[in-house]
A and B are shown apart, each in its own frame.
Chain A
Amino acid sequence: MTGGKTLFEKIWDTHEIKVSENGESLLYVDRHFIHDGTSQAFEKLELEGHRVKSPHKTFGTADHYVPTRDGLDGLTDPERRAMVLRLDEDAKRHNIRSFGFGHQHQGIVHVIGPELGLTLPGFLLVCGDSHTSTHGALGAFAFGVGASEVAHVLATQTIWQARPKTMRITLDGRADVGVTAKDMILHIIGTIGAGGATGHVIEYAGSGIEALSMEGRLTLCNMSIEAGARAGLIAPDDKTVAYLKGRPFAPSGADWGRAVAHWQTLTSDSDAAFDREVRIETGNVSPTVTWGTSPEDAVPVTAAVPDPQGEPDAERRARMIRALDYMNLKPGTPMESIAVDRVFIGSCTNSRIEDLRAAAEILKGRKTKIPAMVVPGSMSVKAAAEAEGLDRVFVEAGVEWRDPGCSMCVAMNGVDVVGPGERCASTSNRNFAGRQGRGARTHLMSPAMAAAAAVAGRIVDPRKSIAGGEA
C-alpha cells in the first residue's frame, strides 16, 4: 500500500481535469482575482478574440495604482489614473464584479479575498500577483501567475501546471513574547534562502503554526514566494472555520455545513511523504530584520550587519558586497544603531487589523521622530481601526493615516515613494534594490518593530518598547 496524501496533493487531485501526454495537468480554478494591473491580460484576451468563460468566478479590486490620500485627485499622473479606471472598464465590459476605487470592499487583493470570504479552504485560486500565496493561509492552493495565464484563466476557468514538489516546514514550540509571524517568515527565508523553496509548495505545520491567528498565518503564507515557493499552505482548523463564518461571500445555509465537512478532510495524512522537510524551533526565532537587498538577508534585530569576508561561497560573498554597497552599510554595524529616514506600515503582508493594533500599542502616548505612514489593507480594515480609535493613536503620535492600497510597498502610484538614498523601515515583503523607489533602501520588519523605529528614529528591538522600557 502506498502512503497517504499531503494536503496539497488532495487539493491538486480534486482539481485535476486531465493530464496531458507530456505530463502537464489541466486544473480547474475556483476563484480568480484581478486588480488594476490586469489590463494587459484583457488586451491579450480581446486581441485573440476570446470571451470570459465564468465572469462570476472572478472578482476585482483596485490596489496597485490607487492613491492613498486626497481621493482620485491624489493620483496626479494620467497614465496611472487610467490604470485604476481601466479596471472598472475591463470588469464592466466582461461582467466581472469589481470593487474599484471608492467601493466599500476595495482594498489590497490579498487582504480583501480572505476578509470577504471569497478565499475558501480547498479552493484553487489564482491572481496575476506573486503574493497570491497569501491565500494559502486558509488552506487554499493559491499562486501567482503572469498576464498570459490570467488571460487563459479568464477564457477557460482552468490553468495548465506542472506538478510542483512538496515541502513541509514544521515550527515546533511556542514563540517568545514579541516574536510575530513576520519574524518567523523572515527567519525561515533567512534559513532556506530566497530560492530555497523554488519548485515546491510549502505546507507550514506544527504547534508554532497552530498557535498563530488567521492574520498571522496570512502574513506567513504571503512571503512564501520570497523563498521561491509556488505556494504556501496551512491546513484549515477550527480557527479557519470560525474566521470564515458569516463573511459576506462565505457559504451559508446548507452549503455551510457541507463545506465545513469537506474542509475537515483537508489535512495531510499522517503517513504522507513530503519531498523535503525542514524543522525550526519556534523558540529560536527572534524579532528579525533585513540588512540587504534580498529577503534572505535576514538577521535578529540584536545582531550586527554580517561580514562578507566570513562567507565561504564566492558568489554569495559578491552578492553581499553588492547589497552592502547599495544599502550603504558597513559589516559589523549593530542593526540597532542604523538610523532610518521614514517608516511604512502596510502592504499585503502586514496591513490587517492585528498589524495595526500591534503598531498602535507601541505608538500609544509616544511621538515619532521621523515621517511615518500607516496604510490599512482595505476599506473595512480602515473602518475597523477607526472604530477602535487606532487612527487617533497614529495621528497623535505624528503618523499619517492613509487610505487602503499597495502604496509604498511597490511605489507604483507615483507618489508613495521612498526617495533616492532614503532608508525606510517597512512592513512590506521585498527589499529589492529600487523596489520602494529608485535608490531606496528598505529594511523589512514587523509592524511592532516598524512602529518602534518611528519612535526611535532608528532600528530598535520592539520588545524594549512593549516591556515599557525605552521610549
Chain B
Amino acid sequence: MKPVQKIHGLAVGLEIGNVDTDQIVPARYLYRNRSDGFADTLFRDMRFDPEGREHESFPLNGPEAERAAILVTLDNFGCGSSREHAVWALIDAGYQAVIAVSFGDIFRNNAHENGLLPVVLEEHEVMHLLQHVKGGPATLAVDLETQQVTLPDGICFSFDIDSAAHENLLLGRSKIDATHSLRSTIDEFEEAYLGRHPWSE
C-alpha cells in the first residue's frame, strides 16, 4: 500500500449519516477480483438510475467530482458489512481520505489496511467543511503528519488518530511482514497458551 502523508485536492460532500457499506458497494459486485477494480461500483445505486444514467444531483457525479480525493460525510460512515470492497472502491475512484463525524469500526480498520485515511472531526467542524463544498467540489488539505485539515482560507481543524494507524499509514507498510518479524514471540506465546488451553488445538 502507498504511504499517506499530505493530501491536497478536491473534496466532495455527502451529507448523509449512517452510510452503510451496501450503499458504498452493492453486494452484486463483490465477486470481482481485487485486480479487476471497483471504481465503477462506488455508490452505484446512489449515483446511477437502474438504466445506468447518472443522477445529476448526486454530489459525486460530474466532471469536477471525478477528480475528488477527499470525501466529507456525517456519522457512522461505513457501518454494516465488513466488505473491504467499500474501501477499495473509494481508493480506485481516486479517494485518499474520508472525513466524517464517526466511522463503522470494521470500515475504519479496512481503510487503515489500504492507505485510505479516515479522519474523525467534531460535528460542527464537519458541518463547516460541508458548507465549504456545498456549491460543488472545493479544495481541502489533509496532513497526516500534523494531523490537521486545512481550508483555503487558513481555518484548520485538528484530528486524532490512534498512533498505530498513524504510523502504519505514514509508512505504508504491510502488517503481515511486521508481524512475521515477531515470529519467535508468537511461537513462544502459542506454546504456552496451548499448554493451558489444549482444547484450542
**Bound: A316/B200 CA distance, A:** 46
Contact: B50 with A17, CB < 8 Å?
A: no
User: Shortest beta-carbon distance, A110 to chain B, in Å?
Assistant: 13
Instruction: Give the contact stretch, choosing among B3-11, B135-143, B149-157, B174-182.
Output: B174-182
Contact: A123 with B200, CB < 8 Å?
A: yes
- Residues on A lying within 8 angstroms of B by beta carbon are 14-15, 17-18, 20, 22-24, 26, 28, 30-31, 37, 39-40, 43-44, 48, 50, 65, 79-80, 82-83, 120, 122-123, 128-130, 143-149, 151-152, 155-158, 160, 162, 164, 194-195, 198-199, 225-226, 228, 230, 251, 255-256, 258-259, 262, 294, 296, 315-316, 318-319, 322, 410-412, 414, 420, 430, 432-435, 438-439
Could you pull out 30 A-B pairs where Cβ atoms are within 8 angstroms? A14-B193, A15-B193, A18-B182, A39-B31, A48-B176, A80-B31, A129-B81, A144-B82, A146-B83, A146-B110, A146-B113, A147-B34, A149-B113, A152-B179, A155-B179, A156-B180, A156-B186, A157-B190, A162-B164, A164-B105, A195-B76, A225-B80, A228-B79, A258-B199, A318-B16, A319-B16, A322-B16, A412-B27, A412-B28, A430-B20
The size bracket of the interface on B is: 35 or more
CB < 8 Å: which of B15, B35, B76, B87 contacts A198?
A: B76
Looking across the interface, which residue of chain B has its beta carbon closest to that of A128?
A: B82
Specify which chain B residues have a CB less than 8 angstroms from the CB of A420 in the assembled complex: 50
Specify which chain B residues have a CB less than 8 angstroms from the CB of A23 in the assembled complex: 162-164
By Cβ-Cβ distance, the 5 closest A-B pairs, closest first, are: A148-B113, A146-B84, A24-B164, A195-B76, A251-B199
Contact: B164 with A17, CB < 8 Å?
A: no
Give 1 or 0 for each of B21-43: 1 = CB within 8 Å of chain A CB: 01100111011011100000000
B53 interface residue, CB < 8 Å from A?
no
Looking across the interface, which residue of chain B has its beta carbon closest to that of A41?
A: B84
Specify which chain B residues have a CB less than 8 angstroms from the CB of A31 in the assembled complex: 200
Contact: B87 with A17, CB < 8 Å?
A: no
**Bound: A48/B45 CA distance, A:** 33
Known: A149-B113, A434-B45. A315 touches B176 (CB 8 A): no
CB < 8 Å: which of A164, A411, A433 contacts B28?
A: A411
Known: A147-B84, A435-B22. A194 touches B79 (CB 8 A): yes
B166 interface residue, CB < 8 Å from A?
yes
User: Shortest beta-carbon distance, A276 to chain B, in Å?
Assistant: 15
Specify which chain A residues have a CB less than 8 angstroms from the CB of B176 in the assembled complex: 48, 50, 151-152, 155-156
**Bound: A151/B79 CA distance, A:** 22
Looking across the interface, which residue of chain A has its beta carbon closest to that of B175?
A: A152
CB < 8 Å: which of A146, A151, A316, A318 contacts B109?
A: A146
Contact: B105 with A228, CB < 8 Å?
A: yes
**Bound: A410/B26 CA distance, A:** 10
Looking across the interface, which residue of chain A has its beta carbon closest to that of B30?
A: A37
**Bound: A318/B175 CA distance, A:** 40
- Residues on B lying within 8 angstroms of A by beta carbon are 15-18, 20, 22-23, 26-28, 30-31, 33-35, 45, 50, 74-76, 79-85, 87, 102-106, 109-110, 113-114, 162-167, 174-176, 179-180, 182, 185-186, 189-190, 193, 197-200
Specify which chain A residues have a CB less than 8 angstroms from the CB of B80 in the assembled complex: 130, 225-226, 430, 432
Contact: A198 with B102, CB < 8 Å?
A: yes
Contact: B179 with A26, CB < 8 Å?
A: yes
Specify which chain B residues have a CB less than 8 angstroms from the CB of A158 in the assembled complex: 179, 186
Contact: A438 with B113, CB < 8 Å?
A: no
Contact: B18 with A22, CB < 8 Å?
A: no
Best-buried of B33, B113, B162 by chain A (most CB within 10 Å): B113
Contact: A28 with B193, CB < 8 Å?
A: yes
**Bound: A411/B81 CA distance, A:** 13
Looking across the interface, which residue of chain A has its beta carbon closest to that of B174?
A: A48
Contact: B27 with A129, CB < 8 Å?
A: no
Looking across the interface, which residue of chain A has its beta carbon closest to that of B84?
A: A146
User: Shortest beta-carbon distance, B175 to chain A, in Å?
Assistant: 6
Looking across the interface, which residue of chain B has its beta carbon closest to that of A86?
A: B31
Specify which chain A residues have a CB less than 8 angstroms from the CB of B45 in the assembled complex: 433-434, 438
Contact: A160 with B28, CB < 8 Å?
A: no
Best-buried of B75, B82, B176, B190 by chain A (most CB within 10 Å): B82
**Bound: A432/B167 CA distance, A:** 34
Contact: B106 with A148, CB < 8 Å?
A: no
**Bound: A148/B75 CA distance, A:** 24
User: Shortest beta-carbon distance, A399 to chain B, in Å?
Assistant: 25
Contact: A194 with B76, CB < 8 Å?
A: yes
Specify which chain A residues have a CB less than 8 angstroms from the CB of B113 in the assembled complex: 146, 148-149
**Bound: A127/B77 CA distance, A:** 21
Best-buried of B174, B193, B199 by chain A (most CB within 10 Å): B199
User: Shortest beta-carbon distance, A254 to chain B, in Å?
Assistant: 9
**Bound: A82/B30 CA distance, A:** 12
**Bound: A194/B126 CA distance, A:** 20
Looking across the interface, which residue of chain A has its beta carbon closest to that of B190?
A: A28
CB < 8 Å: which of A24, A195, A199 contacts B79?
A: A195
Specify which chain A residues have a CB less than 8 angstroms from the CB of B182 in the assembled complex: 17-18, 26
User: Shortest beta-carbon distance, A152 to chain B, in Å?
Assistant: 5
Looking across the interface, which residue of chain B has its beta carbon closest to that of A322?
A: B16
Contact: B162 with A148, CB < 8 Å?
A: no
Known: A146-B106, A156-B176. A259 touches B199 (CB 8 A): yes
Known: A146-B110, A199-B105, A322-B16. A39 touches B185 (CB 8 A): no
